[in-house]
Amino acid sequence: MSTSERHQKEVLELFLRVEHVTEVKEINHLWNGFAG
């Protein structure tokens, strides 16, 4: 595996992690609005 390939993989994993956190925050926001 080349350095650029490894870098792309790290960036992709970081992006997916950020996407997941954003989703969780939105779900919490919707849930709090529904519960409140």
pLDDT, tens only, 13-32? 999 999 999 999 999 999 99
What does DSSP assign to residue 6? Answer: H
Query: What's the distance, Cα to Cα, between the start and end of the chain in Å?
Result: 51
Cα 20 to the center of its chain, rounded Å: 3
pLDDT tier at 1, thresholds 50, 70, 90? confident
What does DSSP assign to residue 36? Answer: -
pLDDT of residue 35 exceeding 90, the answer is no
